[in-house]
Amino acid sequence: MADVVILMHRNKSQQEVSDARIKSEILSTTVIVAKNRNGSIGKIDLNFDPSILRFSDKE
């Protein structure tokens, strides 16, 4: 059994953006912690930079 389950979600409007544009822009992403045996659950809004595959806090 999994101790932590994390889901990622993008708005539908972002899903329709071209691949070339996605690779060059910072995207707004919601990370959903659906299960966390040793902590809290909930939604976290993050920025995602696809050019370096990194998530960061929204400023």
- pLDDT, position 7: 94
| DSSP string for residues in 1-59 | --SEEEEEE--HHHHTS-HHHHHHS-EEEEEEEEEETTS--EEEEEEEETTTTEEEE--
pTM: predicted TM-score of the whole model, two decimal places: 0.68
Has residue 55 got a pLDDT over 90? Answer: yes
**pLDDT, tens only, 17-46:** 666 666 678 888 899 999 999 999 999 999
Rg (CA), the chain: 13
- pLDDT, position 12: 67
- The residue among 25 and 7 whose pLDDT is bigger is 7
Tokens representing residue 31 in the block: 């990370």
